[in-house]
Protein backbone atom coordinates (compact mmCIF):
# COMPACT_ATOMS: atom_id res chain seq x y z
CA UNK A 1 0.00 0.00 0.00
CA UNK A 2 2.65 2.52 -0.96
CA UNK A 3 0.08 4.73 -2.73
CA UNK A 4 -3.24 5.13 -0.95
CA UNK A 5 -6.18 7.21 -2.11
CA UNK A 6 -8.91 8.54 0.15
CA UNK A 7 -12.05 10.51 -0.58
CA UNK A 8 -13.02 13.92 0.83
CA UNK A 9 -14.68 12.20 3.82
CA UNK A 10 -11.51 10.24 4.64
CA UNK A 11 -12.73 6.85 3.40
CA UNK A 12 -10.14 4.70 1.66
CA UNK A 13 -10.61 4.20 -2.06
CA UNK A 14 -9.55 1.15 -4.06
CA UNK A 15 -6.01 1.12 -5.41
CA UNK A 16 -5.70 3.10 -8.63
CA UNK A 17 -5.80 0.89 -11.74
CA UNK A 18 -2.89 2.84 -13.22
CA UNK A 19 -0.62 3.93 -10.39
CA UNK A 20 1.72 5.95 -12.61
CA UNK A 21 -1.24 7.91 -14.03
CA UNK A 22 -2.37 8.75 -10.48
CA UNK A 23 1.12 9.85 -9.52
CA UNK A 24 1.16 12.15 -12.54
CA UNK A 25 -2.34 13.41 -11.65
CA UNK A 26 -0.88 14.77 -8.41
CA UNK A 27 2.34 16.18 -9.84
CA UNK A 28 1.21 19.80 -10.35
CA UNK A 29 -0.23 19.88 -6.83
CA UNK A 30 2.93 18.40 -5.29
CA UNK A 31 5.00 21.03 -7.12
CA UNK A 32 3.00 23.76 -5.35
CA UNK A 33 4.94 22.71 -2.24
CA UNK A 34 8.09 21.34 -3.87
CA UNK A 35 8.70 23.24 -7.14
CA UNK A 36 12.21 21.79 -7.51
CA UNK A 37 11.11 18.15 -7.69
CA UNK A 38 13.00 16.34 -10.48
CA UNK A 39 11.59 16.47 -14.02
CA UNK A 40 10.93 12.71 -13.84
CA UNK A 41 8.38 13.18 -11.08
CA UNK A 42 6.63 9.81 -11.42
CA UNK A 43 9.93 7.93 -11.62
CA UNK A 44 11.26 9.76 -8.57
CA UNK A 45 8.16 8.99 -6.52
CA UNK A 46 8.12 5.36 -7.72
CA UNK A 47 11.72 4.94 -6.50
CA UNK A 48 10.83 6.50 -3.15
CA UNK A 49 7.80 4.22 -2.80
CA UNK A 50 10.04 1.21 -3.54
CA UNK A 51 12.29 2.30 -0.64
CA UNK A 52 9.47 2.39 1.91
CA UNK A 53 8.09 5.90 1.54
CA UNK A 54 4.30 6.08 1.27
CA UNK A 55 1.96 8.56 -0.38
CA UNK A 56 -1.67 9.33 0.28
CA UNK A 57 -3.79 11.33 -2.13
CA UNK A 58 -7.10 12.86 -1.15
CA UNK A 59 -9.38 12.78 -4.19
CA UNK A 60 -12.30 15.19 -4.48
CA UNK A 61 -14.57 15.42 -7.51
CA UNK A 62 -12.17 13.18 -9.47
CA UNK A 63 -9.10 15.36 -8.87
CA UNK A 64 -6.20 15.08 -6.43
CA UNK A 65 -6.95 17.82 -3.88
CA UNK A 66 -4.29 17.05 -1.23
CA UNK A 67 -1.16 14.91 -0.96
CA UNK A 68 0.87 13.55 1.93
CA UNK A 69 4.21 11.76 1.73
CA UNK A 70 5.25 9.87 4.86
CA UNK A 71 7.39 7.09 6.29
CA UNK A 72 7.86 5.12 9.48
CA UNK A 73 11.13 4.16 11.12
CA UNK A 74 12.41 2.93 14.50
CA UNK A 75 14.25 5.28 16.86
CA UNK A 76 16.26 4.93 20.05
CA UNK A 77 14.36 7.80 21.69
CA UNK A 78 10.68 7.26 21.03
CA UNK A 79 9.91 3.89 19.55
CA UNK A 80 8.53 3.74 16.05
CA UNK A 81 8.17 7.16 14.39
CA UNK A 82 5.62 8.24 11.80
CA UNK A 83 7.09 11.18 9.92
CA UNK A 84 5.26 13.30 7.34
CA UNK A 85 7.66 14.68 4.73
CA UNK A 86 5.10 16.57 2.65
CA UNK A 87 1.52 17.66 3.26
CA UNK A 88 0.00 19.96 0.65
CA UNK A 89 -3.53 20.99 -0.27
CA UNK A 90 -4.27 22.49 -3.66
CA UNK A 91 -4.24 26.30 -3.34
CA UNK A 92 -7.49 26.43 -5.34
CA UNK A 93 -9.17 23.99 -2.91
CA UNK A 94 -8.05 25.40 0.45
CA UNK A 95 -10.47 25.85 3.36
CA UNK A 96 -12.62 22.87 2.34
CA UNK A 97 -11.34 20.59 5.10
CA UNK A 98 -9.08 18.51 2.85
CA UNK A 99 -5.93 19.14 4.89
CA UNK A 100 -7.66 18.22 8.13
CA UNK A 101 -9.23 15.12 6.57
CA UNK A 102 -5.88 13.94 5.24
CA UNK A 103 -4.11 14.67 8.53
CA UNK A 104 -6.82 12.80 10.46
CA UNK A 105 -6.33 9.82 8.11
CA UNK A 106 -2.54 9.98 8.65
CA UNK A 107 -3.03 9.96 12.42
CA UNK A 108 -5.27 6.88 12.22
CA UNK A 109 -2.69 5.21 9.97
CA UNK A 110 0.09 6.01 12.45
CA UNK A 111 -1.85 4.41 15.29
CA UNK A 112 -2.63 1.34 13.15
CA UNK A 113 1.12 0.96 12.50
CA UNK A 114 1.96 1.17 16.21
CA UNK A 115 3.36 4.69 16.15
CA UNK A 116 2.61 6.76 19.28
CA UNK A 117 2.50 10.07 17.41
CA UNK A 118 3.01 11.95 14.16
CA UNK A 119 5.99 14.17 13.45
CA UNK A 120 6.50 16.69 10.69
CA UNK A 121 8.69 19.63 9.78
CA UNK A 122 7.41 22.92 8.46
CA UNK A 123 9.72 25.58 7.07
CA UNK A 124 10.00 28.73 9.17
CA UNK A 125 8.28 30.97 6.59
CA UNK A 126 5.15 28.77 6.25
CA UNK A 127 3.06 30.68 8.78
CA UNK A 128 -0.31 29.53 7.38
CA UNK A 129 0.82 25.93 7.74
CA UNK A 130 1.95 26.59 11.32
CA UNK A 131 -1.45 28.00 12.25
CA UNK A 132 -3.10 24.94 10.68
CA UNK A 133 -0.91 22.51 12.66
CA UNK A 134 -1.50 24.37 15.92
CA UNK A 135 -5.27 24.21 15.31
CA UNK A 136 -4.93 20.44 14.81
CA UNK A 137 -3.22 20.03 18.20
CA UNK A 138 0.41 19.90 17.07
CA UNK A 139 3.14 21.57 19.10
CA UNK A 140 6.72 22.58 18.49
CA UNK A 141 8.91 19.96 20.16
CA UNK A 142 12.42 20.97 19.18
CA UNK A 143 14.74 22.27 16.50
CA UNK A 144 15.69 20.56 13.26
CA UNK A 145 19.27 21.50 12.37
CA UNK A 146 20.61 21.29 8.82
CA UNK A 147 24.12 21.71 7.41
CA UNK A 148 24.51 21.75 3.63
CA UNK A 149 27.51 19.65 2.60
CA UNK A 150 27.26 19.94 -1.18
CA UNK A 151 28.48 23.13 -2.82
CA UNK A 152 25.75 25.42 -4.07
CA UNK A 153 25.52 26.42 -7.71
CA UNK A 154 26.17 29.92 -9.04
> Which DSSP string corresponds to 52-80?
T-EEEEEEETTEEEEEEEEEEEE-SSSSE
Tell me which residue range forms the domain holding 20: 3-135
Q: Is residue 151 included in any domain, yes or no? A: no
- The CATH number of the domain holding residue 72 is 3.40.630.30
Q: Is residue 92 included in any domain, yes or no? A: yes
Quick check: helix, strand or coil at residue 119? strand
Q: Is residue 47 included in any domain, yes or no? A: yes
Q: Is residue 141 included in any domain, yes or no? A: no
Tens of pLDDT along the chain (154 residues) come to: 589 999 999 999 998 889 899 999 999 999 999 999 999 999 999 999 999 999 999 999 999 999 999 999 999 988 899 999 999 999 888 889 999 999 999 999 999 999 999 999 888 888 999 998 999 999 999 888 889 998 877 6
Number of compact structural domains in the chain: 1
Q: Is residue 95 included in any domain, yes or no? A: yes
Amino acid sequence: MALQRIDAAGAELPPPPDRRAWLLAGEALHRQLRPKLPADYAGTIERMLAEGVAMAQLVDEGAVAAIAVWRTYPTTYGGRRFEVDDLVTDEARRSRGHGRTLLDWLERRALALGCPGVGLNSSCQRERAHRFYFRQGYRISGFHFVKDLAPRGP
